[in-house]
Protein backbone atom coordinates (compact mmCIF):
# COMPACT_ATOMS: atom_id res chain seq x y z
CA UNK A 1 0.00 0.00 0.00
CA UNK A 2 0.94 3.63 -0.36
CA UNK A 3 2.08 5.66 2.64
CA UNK A 4 1.92 9.38 3.37
CA UNK A 5 5.30 9.72 1.67
CA UNK A 6 3.81 8.71 -1.69
CA UNK A 7 1.17 11.43 -1.73
CA UNK A 8 1.28 15.17 -2.41
CA UNK A 9 -1.20 16.73 0.03
CA UNK A 10 -0.77 20.43 -0.79
CA UNK A 11 -4.11 21.99 -1.60
CA UNK A 12 -5.94 18.68 -1.19
CA UNK A 13 -8.55 17.48 1.27
CA UNK A 14 -7.60 14.24 3.00
CA UNK A 15 -10.32 12.10 4.58
CA UNK A 16 -8.44 10.52 7.44
CA UNK A 17 -10.05 7.49 9.11
CA UNK A 18 -8.84 7.41 12.69
CA UNK A 19 -9.80 5.39 15.74
CA UNK A 20 -10.54 7.79 18.57
CA UNK A 21 -12.85 5.33 20.28
CA UNK A 22 -11.28 6.32 23.60
CA UNK A 23 -12.37 5.44 27.14
CA UNK A 24 -14.26 8.24 28.91
CA UNK A 25 -15.48 8.85 32.44
CA UNK A 26 -17.54 11.85 33.57
CA UNK A 27 -17.20 13.48 30.18
CA UNK A 28 -13.41 13.30 30.15
CA UNK A 29 -11.06 11.10 28.15
CA UNK A 30 -9.32 8.77 30.61
CA UNK A 31 -6.70 7.39 28.22
CA UNK A 32 -5.64 9.55 25.28
CA UNK A 33 -3.21 7.02 23.77
CA UNK A 34 -5.25 6.58 20.60
CA UNK A 35 -5.42 10.36 20.15
CA UNK A 36 -1.69 10.83 20.71
CA UNK A 37 -0.83 8.14 18.22
CA UNK A 38 -2.70 9.77 15.28
CA UNK A 39 -1.01 13.15 15.68
CA UNK A 40 1.94 12.39 13.34
CA UNK A 41 -0.45 11.67 10.47
CA UNK A 42 -2.51 14.81 11.05
CA UNK A 43 0.60 16.96 11.35
CA UNK A 44 2.21 15.48 8.26
CA UNK A 45 -0.80 16.42 6.14
CA UNK A 46 -1.37 19.90 7.60
CA UNK A 47 2.34 20.74 7.37
CA UNK A 48 2.28 19.67 3.74
CA UNK A 49 -0.47 22.23 3.11
CA UNK A 50 -3.37 19.78 3.06
CA UNK A 51 -6.73 19.86 4.87
CA UNK A 52 -7.55 17.07 7.31
CA UNK A 53 -11.09 15.78 7.65
CA UNK A 54 -11.22 13.23 10.45
CA UNK A 55 -13.57 10.32 10.09
CA UNK A 56 -14.25 8.08 13.08
CA UNK A 57 -16.71 5.98 15.02
CA UNK A 58 -17.29 6.29 18.73
CA UNK A 59 -18.77 3.52 20.85
CA UNK A 60 -21.71 1.49 19.51
CA UNK A 61 -24.75 3.72 18.90
CA UNK A 62 -26.17 1.19 16.40
CA UNK A 63 -27.37 3.67 13.81
CA UNK A 64 -28.99 6.03 16.33
CA UNK A 65 -27.98 9.60 17.21
CA UNK A 66 -27.02 8.95 20.82
CA UNK A 67 -25.86 12.26 22.38
CA UNK A 68 -23.51 10.54 24.83
CA UNK A 69 -21.75 8.99 21.85
CA UNK A 70 -21.16 12.22 19.98
CA UNK A 71 -17.59 12.78 18.86
CA UNK A 72 -18.02 16.39 19.97
CA UNK A 73 -17.20 14.99 23.43
CA UNK A 74 -13.78 13.83 22.24
CA UNK A 75 -13.02 17.04 20.35
CA UNK A 76 -11.55 19.00 23.35
CA UNK A 77 -9.03 16.22 24.06
CA UNK A 78 -8.11 16.15 20.40
CA UNK A 79 -7.58 19.91 20.32
CA UNK A 80 -5.49 19.76 23.49
CA UNK A 81 -3.27 17.00 22.12
CA UNK A 82 -2.89 18.67 18.74
CA UNK A 83 -2.44 22.17 20.17
CA UNK A 84 -4.59 23.43 17.31
CA UNK A 85 -8.33 24.13 16.94
CA UNK A 86 -10.41 21.37 15.42
CA UNK A 87 -13.66 22.19 13.62
CA UNK A 88 -16.70 19.98 14.02
CA UNK A 89 -19.49 18.96 11.64
CA UNK A 90 -22.68 17.53 13.09
CA UNK A 91 -22.91 14.82 10.47
CA UNK A 92 -20.36 12.84 8.48
CA UNK A 93 -22.29 13.34 5.21
CA UNK A 94 -24.78 15.80 3.71
CA UNK A 95 -25.01 19.57 4.11
CA UNK A 96 -23.41 19.96 7.57
CA UNK A 97 -20.32 18.07 6.40
CA UNK A 98 -20.18 19.72 2.95
CA UNK A 99 -20.47 23.23 4.40
CA UNK A 100 -17.81 22.62 7.02
CA UNK A 101 -15.39 21.16 4.46
CA UNK A 102 -16.05 24.01 2.01
CA UNK A 103 -15.08 26.52 4.70
CA UNK A 104 -11.71 24.86 5.39
CA UNK A 105 -8.35 26.38 4.54
CA UNK A 106 -4.98 24.69 4.08
CA UNK A 107 -3.73 23.35 7.41
CA UNK A 108 -7.22 23.14 8.96
CA UNK A 109 -8.49 20.08 10.83
CA UNK A 110 -12.18 19.13 10.91
CA UNK A 111 -13.80 16.33 12.88
CA UNK A 112 -16.94 14.73 11.47
CA UNK A 113 -19.66 13.33 13.73
CA UNK A 114 -19.70 9.62 14.65
CA UNK A 115 -20.01 7.54 11.48
CA UNK A 116 -22.03 4.96 13.44
CA UNK A 117 -24.90 7.42 13.82
CA UNK A 118 -25.75 6.07 10.36
CA UNK A 119 -26.98 2.47 10.22
CA UNK A 120 -25.21 2.20 6.85
CA UNK A 121 -21.78 2.45 8.47
CA UNK A 122 -21.71 -1.09 9.85
CA UNK A 123 -23.52 -2.43 6.78
CA UNK A 124 -20.83 -0.94 4.56
CA UNK A 125 -23.57 0.88 2.68
CA UNK A 126 -22.43 2.15 -0.71
CA UNK A 127 -24.48 5.36 -0.54
CA UNK A 128 -22.97 6.30 2.79
CA UNK A 129 -19.46 5.54 1.53
CA UNK A 130 -20.10 7.62 -1.58
CA UNK A 131 -21.43 10.50 0.55
CA UNK A 132 -18.26 10.46 2.61
CA UNK A 133 -15.92 10.03 -0.37
CA UNK A 134 -17.47 13.08 -2.04
CA UNK A 135 -16.08 15.26 0.76
CA UNK A 136 -12.41 14.78 -0.06
CA UNK A 137 -9.71 14.05 -2.60
CA UNK A 138 -7.84 11.22 -0.94
CA UNK A 139 -8.51 8.63 1.78
CA UNK A 140 -5.93 7.97 4.49
CA UNK A 141 -6.57 5.01 6.76
CA UNK A 142 -4.85 5.43 10.13
CA UNK A 143 -7.25 3.21 12.06
CA UNK A 144 -5.54 -0.17 12.35
CA UNK A 145 -7.61 -0.85 15.47
CA UNK A 146 -10.82 -0.60 13.42
CA UNK A 147 -9.40 -2.48 10.41
CA UNK A 148 -11.16 -5.72 11.40
CA UNK A 149 -14.47 -4.01 10.57
CA UNK A 150 -15.57 -3.95 6.92
CA UNK A 151 -17.54 -0.75 7.38
CA UNK A 152 -18.40 2.16 5.07
CA UNK A 153 -15.73 4.41 6.61
CA UNK A 154 -13.00 1.75 6.63
CA UNK A 155 -13.34 -0.34 3.46
CA UNK A 156 -16.23 1.34 1.61
CA UNK A 157 -14.55 4.71 1.16
CA UNK A 158 -11.16 3.12 0.42
CA UNK A 159 -12.67 1.32 -2.54
CA UNK A 160 -13.99 4.57 -4.01
CA UNK A 161 -10.89 6.76 -4.03
CA UNK A 162 -7.12 7.08 -4.08
CA UNK A 163 -5.88 5.94 -0.69
CA UNK A 164 -2.91 5.29 1.53
CA UNK A 165 -2.00 4.17 5.03
CA UNK A 166 -1.34 6.73 7.75
CA UNK A 167 1.71 6.64 10.03
CA UNK A 168 0.02 4.72 12.83
CA UNK A 169 -1.36 2.10 10.45
CA UNK A 170 2.13 1.75 8.99
CA UNK A 171 3.73 1.45 12.43
CA UNK A 172 1.23 -1.17 13.60
CA UNK A 173 1.65 -3.32 10.50
CA UNK A 174 5.45 -3.06 10.59
CA UNK A 175 5.58 -4.08 14.25
CA UNK A 176 3.21 -6.98 13.76
CA UNK A 177 5.07 -8.22 10.71
CA UNK A 178 8.29 -8.17 12.74
CA UNK A 179 6.64 -10.14 15.52
CA UNK A 180 4.93 -12.90 13.59
CA UNK A 181 5.41 -12.44 9.85
CA UNK A 182 9.17 -12.83 9.56
CA UNK A 183 10.31 -12.88 13.20
CA UNK A 184 13.73 -13.45 14.64
CA UNK A 185 13.60 -16.85 16.36
CA UNK A 186 13.00 -18.30 18.83
CA UNK A 187 9.58 -16.69 19.23
CA UNK A 188 7.53 -16.88 22.42
CA UNK A 189 3.91 -15.86 22.88
CA UNK A 190 2.16 -15.10 26.13
CA UNK A 191 -1.57 -15.71 25.89
CA UNK A 192 -3.62 -14.98 28.97
CA UNK A 193 -7.11 -13.92 29.85
CA UNK A 194 -10.21 -15.62 31.08
CA UNK A 195 -11.44 -17.95 28.38
CA UNK A 196 -10.06 -20.51 25.98
CA UNK A 197 -13.28 -20.30 23.97
CA UNK A 198 -12.64 -16.70 22.90
CA UNK A 199 -9.06 -17.44 21.90
CA UNK A 200 -9.35 -20.75 20.07
CA UNK A 201 -8.48 -19.43 16.60
CA UNK A 202 -5.69 -17.40 18.09
CA UNK A 203 -4.16 -20.40 19.86
CA UNK A 204 -4.50 -22.57 16.75
CA UNK A 205 -2.73 -19.98 14.61
CA UNK A 206 0.02 -19.32 17.15
CA UNK A 207 1.02 -22.94 17.66
CA UNK A 208 2.00 -23.09 14.00
CA UNK A 209 4.05 -19.91 14.25
CA UNK A 210 5.75 -19.65 17.63
CA UNK A 211 8.28 -21.86 19.38
CA UNK A 212 6.91 -21.34 22.89
CA UNK A 213 3.38 -20.64 24.02
CA UNK A 214 2.96 -19.49 27.62
CA UNK A 215 -0.63 -19.86 28.72
CA UNK A 216 -1.79 -17.91 31.76
CA UNK A 217 -4.84 -16.46 33.46
CA UNK A 218 -8.17 -18.27 33.67
CA UNK A 219 -7.39 -20.01 30.37
CA UNK A 220 -4.55 -21.91 31.96
CA UNK A 221 -7.00 -23.52 34.39
CA UNK A 222 -8.86 -25.19 31.54
CA UNK A 223 -5.56 -26.64 30.33
CA UNK A 224 -4.74 -27.82 33.85
CA UNK A 225 -8.10 -29.63 34.00
CA UNK A 226 -7.29 -31.19 30.62
CA UNK A 227 -4.10 -32.53 32.21
CA UNK A 228 -6.19 -34.11 34.96
CA UNK A 229 -5.31 -31.61 37.68
CA UNK A 230 -7.59 -30.45 40.48
CA UNK A 231 -8.25 -26.72 40.34
CA UNK A 232 -10.65 -26.27 43.26
CA UNK A 233 -13.20 -23.51 42.69
CA UNK A 234 -11.15 -21.84 39.94
CA UNK A 235 -12.68 -20.29 36.88
CA UNK A 236 -12.45 -22.78 33.99
CA UNK A 237 -14.40 -23.93 30.96
CA UNK A 238 -14.82 -27.61 31.66
CA UNK A 239 -16.56 -28.18 28.33
CA UNK A 240 -13.38 -27.00 26.62
CA UNK A 241 -11.04 -29.60 28.05
CA UNK A 242 -11.13 -31.80 24.92
CA UNK A 243 -10.32 -28.73 22.87
CA UNK A 244 -7.45 -27.90 25.21
CA UNK A 245 -6.11 -31.46 24.82
CA UNK A 246 -6.40 -31.14 21.07
CA UNK A 247 -4.45 -27.86 21.13
CA UNK A 248 -1.71 -29.48 23.21
CA UNK A 249 -1.45 -32.41 20.78
CA UNK A 250 -1.30 -30.11 17.75
CA UNK A 251 1.31 -27.92 19.44
CA UNK A 252 3.48 -30.92 20.08
CA UNK A 253 3.19 -31.97 16.39
CA UNK A 254 4.07 -28.43 15.31
CA UNK A 255 7.16 -28.25 17.54
CA UNK A 256 5.65 -25.59 19.79
CA UNK A 257 6.18 -26.04 23.51
CA UNK A 258 3.23 -25.12 25.71
CA UNK A 259 4.11 -23.73 29.13
CA UNK A 260 1.55 -23.89 31.92
CA UNK A 261 1.86 -22.69 35.53
CA UNK A 262 4.18 -24.79 37.71
CA UNK A 263 3.03 -23.18 40.92
CA UNK A 264 -0.09 -21.24 41.73
CA UNK A 265 -1.35 -18.49 44.02
CA UNK A 266 -4.71 -19.48 45.50
CA UNK A 267 -7.30 -17.76 47.70
CA UNK A 268 -10.79 -18.50 48.96
CA UNK A 269 -12.16 -15.36 47.34
CA UNK A 270 -11.13 -12.87 44.69
CA UNK A 271 -11.02 -9.74 46.82
CA UNK A 272 -8.63 -7.05 47.95
CA UNK A 273 -6.66 -8.29 50.97
CA UNK A 274 -7.91 -11.90 50.67
CA UNK A 275 -5.51 -14.34 52.35
CA UNK A 276 -3.52 -16.11 49.66
CA UNK A 277 -1.15 -19.01 49.52
CA UNK A 278 1.45 -20.18 47.00
CA UNK A 279 1.45 -23.89 46.25
CA UNK A 280 2.79 -26.36 43.66
CA UNK A 281 0.34 -26.72 40.78
CA UNK A 282 -0.68 -30.23 41.85
CA UNK A 283 -1.74 -29.13 45.33
CA UNK A 284 -4.70 -26.82 44.78
CA UNK A 285 -7.07 -27.17 47.79
CA UNK A 286 -10.68 -28.01 46.87
CA UNK A 287 -12.08 -24.83 48.44
CA UNK A 288 -9.70 -22.33 46.82
CA UNK A 289 -9.36 -20.73 43.42
CA UNK A 290 -6.24 -20.13 41.36
CA UNK A 291 -5.75 -16.38 40.87
CA UNK A 292 -2.16 -16.12 39.72
CA UNK A 293 0.93 -18.07 38.77
CA UNK A 294 3.64 -18.39 41.42
CA UNK A 295 7.34 -17.45 41.61
CA UNK A 296 8.62 -20.74 40.15
CA UNK A 297 6.50 -20.15 37.06
CA UNK A 298 7.79 -16.60 36.83
CA UNK A 299 11.39 -17.80 37.10
CA UNK A 300 10.77 -20.29 34.29
CA UNK A 301 9.16 -17.60 32.12
CA UNK A 302 12.09 -15.25 32.72
CA UNK A 303 14.55 -17.95 31.70
CA UNK A 304 12.51 -18.68 28.61
CA UNK A 305 12.33 -14.99 27.61
CA UNK A 306 16.11 -14.74 28.01
CA UNK A 307 16.52 -17.46 25.39
CA UNK A 308 14.08 -15.92 22.90
CA UNK A 309 14.48 -13.12 20.35
CA UNK A 310 10.84 -12.22 19.82
CA UNK A 311 7.86 -12.02 22.15
CA UNK A 312 4.18 -11.49 21.38
CA UNK A 313 2.02 -10.74 24.41
CA UNK A 314 -1.74 -10.86 24.71
CA UNK A 315 -3.58 -11.06 27.99
CA UNK A 316 -2.62 -11.10 31.68
CA UNK A 317 -1.11 -14.10 33.48
CA UNK A 318 -3.35 -13.74 36.52
CA UNK A 319 -6.18 -11.71 38.03
CA UNK A 320 -3.98 -8.62 37.69
CA UNK A 321 -6.69 -6.13 38.69
CA UNK A 322 -6.20 -6.90 42.38
CA UNK A 323 -2.88 -7.24 44.26
CA UNK A 324 -1.21 -9.60 45.04
CA UNK A 325 -2.66 -11.49 42.06
CA UNK A 326 -0.79 -9.19 39.67
CA UNK A 327 2.61 -10.58 40.69
CA UNK A 328 3.22 -12.95 37.76
CA UNK A 329 1.97 -10.46 35.15
CA UNK A 330 4.06 -7.64 36.60
CA UNK A 331 7.23 -9.68 37.05
CA UNK A 332 7.08 -11.29 33.61
CA UNK A 333 6.23 -7.97 31.92
CA UNK A 334 9.13 -6.23 33.65
CA UNK A 335 11.51 -9.02 32.67
CA UNK A 336 10.42 -8.65 29.04
CA UNK A 337 10.84 -4.87 29.29
CA UNK A 338 14.38 -5.22 30.64
CA UNK A 339 15.41 -7.64 27.91
CA UNK A 340 13.90 -5.29 25.34
CA UNK A 341 15.84 -2.34 26.71
CA UNK A 342 19.01 -4.41 26.61
CA UNK A 343 18.40 -5.06 22.91
CA UNK A 344 17.97 -8.78 23.49
CA UNK A 345 14.26 -9.07 22.75
CA UNK A 346 11.70 -7.65 20.30
CA UNK A 347 8.48 -7.38 22.30
CA UNK A 348 5.08 -6.63 20.84
CA UNK A 349 1.87 -6.47 22.88
CA UNK A 350 -1.75 -5.68 22.27
CA UNK A 351 -5.40 -6.59 22.60
CA UNK A 352 -8.02 -6.04 25.27
CA UNK A 353 -6.74 -5.96 28.83
CA UNK A 354 -3.12 -6.31 27.79
CA UNK A 355 -2.17 -2.66 27.61
CA UNK A 356 -3.84 -1.92 30.96
CA UNK A 357 -1.94 -4.82 32.55
CA UNK A 358 1.40 -3.75 31.08
CA UNK A 359 0.80 -0.13 32.06
CA UNK A 360 0.06 -1.22 35.61
CA UNK A 361 3.36 -3.11 35.61
CA UNK A 362 5.16 0.02 34.35
CA UNK A 363 6.31 -2.02 31.36
CA UNK A 364 4.19 -0.86 28.41
CA UNK A 365 6.44 2.01 27.36
CA UNK A 366 9.49 -0.21 27.54
CA UNK A 367 8.17 -2.80 25.08
CA UNK A 368 9.30 -2.52 21.45
CA UNK A 369 5.72 -1.88 20.39
CA UNK A 370 2.34 -1.70 22.04
CA UNK A 371 -0.59 -1.84 19.68
CA UNK A 372 -3.53 0.53 20.04
CA UNK A 373 -5.79 -2.28 18.87
CA UNK A 374 -8.07 -4.57 20.83
CA UNK A 375 -10.20 -6.75 18.57
CA UNK A 376 -8.10 -6.03 15.47
CA UNK A 377 -4.94 -7.23 17.24
CA UNK A 378 -6.69 -10.46 18.20
CA UNK A 379 -7.96 -11.06 14.68
CA UNK A 380 -4.50 -10.43 13.36
CA UNK A 381 -3.09 -12.95 15.87
CA UNK A 382 -5.71 -15.36 14.56
CA UNK A 383 -4.09 -15.02 11.14
CA UNK A 384 -7.11 -13.31 9.59
CA UNK A 385 -6.91 -10.76 6.81
CA UNK A 386 -8.13 -7.41 8.13
CA UNK A 387 -10.58 -5.91 5.60
CA UNK A 388 -9.53 -2.33 6.36
CA UNK A 389 -5.95 -3.18 5.44
CA UNK A 390 -6.91 -5.34 2.47
CA UNK A 391 -8.94 -2.46 1.00
CA UNK A 392 -5.88 -0.23 0.72
CA UNK A 393 -4.44 0.03 -2.77
CA UNK A 394 -1.29 -1.89 -3.46
Among 146, 293, 317, 346, binds ligand 3PG (CB under 6 A): 146
HEC string of 268-292?
Answer: CCCCCCCCEEEEEHHHCCCCCEEEE
From candidates 166, 193, 324, 374, binder to ligand 3PG by CB under 6 A = 374
Asked whether position 387 contacts ligand 3PG by CB under 6 A, the answer is no
Q: How many residues does the chain have?
A: 394
Residue 374 C-beta: closest distance to ligand 3PG, Å: 4
Distance CA 150, CA 143 (A): 12
Q: How far apart, in Å, are the Cα atoms of 377 and each of 52, 359, 371, 373? A: 26, 17, 7, 5
Question: Is there binding between residue 65 and ligand 3PG (CB under 6 A)?
Answer: no
State which residue, 20 or 214, has the beta carbon closest to ligand 3PG: 20
For residue 352, indicate whether it is catalytic.
Answer: yes
Distance, CA of 246 to CA of 204 (rounded, Å): 10
Q: Tell me whether residue 57 is annotated as binding.
A: yes
Question: Any binding-site annotation on 44?
Answer: no
State which residue has the least CB distance to ligand 3PG.
21
60 binds ligand 3PG (CB under 6 A): yes
147: Cα within 13 Å, side-chain hemisphere? 31
Ordered alpha helix ranges (H), 83-177: 94-102, 126-133, 157-160, 167-176
Distance between CA atoms of residues 318 and 328, nearest Å = 7
For position 61 contacting ligand 3PG by CB under 6 A, the verdict is no
Tell me which stretch binds ligand 3PG (CB under 6 A): 97-105, 142-150, 252-260, 322-330. 142-150
Who's near 46: CB < 8 A, 6+ residues apart? 52, 84, 106, 107, 108, 109
Measured N-to-C along each axis, helices 75-82 and 33-47 cross at an angle, to the nearest 10 degrees, of 60
Phi-psi region of 267 (alpha: psi -120 to 50; beta: other; left: phi over 0): beta
Which part of the chain contacts ligand 3PG (CB under 6 A), choosing from 37-45, 86-94, 144-152, 167-175? Answer: 144-152
Residue 325: strand, helix, or coil: coil
Residue tagged active-site, from 195, 262, 268, 309? 195
**Active-site option among 50, 156, 315, 352:** 352
* Active site (annotated) includes residue 178: no
Asked if 195 is an active-site residue, the reply is: yes
Per the annotation, the verdict on 384 as an active-site residue is: no
Query: Does the footprint of ligand 3PG cover residue 149 (CB under 6 A)?
Result: yes
Q: Confirm or deny that 58 is annotated as ligand binding.
A: yes
* Residue ranges that bind ligand 3PG, judged by CB under 6 A: 19, 21, 60, 145-146, 149, 374-375
Which residues does the annotation place in the binding site for (2R)-3-phosphoglycerate? 34, 116, 149
Residue ranges at the known binding site for ATP? 199, 321, 351-354
Residue positions in the annotated binding site for substrate? 19-21, 34, 57-60, 116, 149
The binding site consists of 19-21, 34, 57-60, 116, 149, 199, 321, 351-354
Amino acid sequence: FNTLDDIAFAGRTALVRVDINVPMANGRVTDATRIDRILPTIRHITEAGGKVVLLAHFDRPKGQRVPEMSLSLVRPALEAALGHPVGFAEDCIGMPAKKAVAAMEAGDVLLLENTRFHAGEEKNDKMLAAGIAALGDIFVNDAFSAAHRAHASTTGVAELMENCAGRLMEAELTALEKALGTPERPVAAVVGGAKVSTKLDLLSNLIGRVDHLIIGGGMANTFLVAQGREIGTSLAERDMTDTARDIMAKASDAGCTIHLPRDIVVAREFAEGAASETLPVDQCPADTMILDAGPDTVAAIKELFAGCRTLVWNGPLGAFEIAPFDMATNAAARAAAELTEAGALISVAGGGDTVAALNKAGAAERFSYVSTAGGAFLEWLEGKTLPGVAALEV
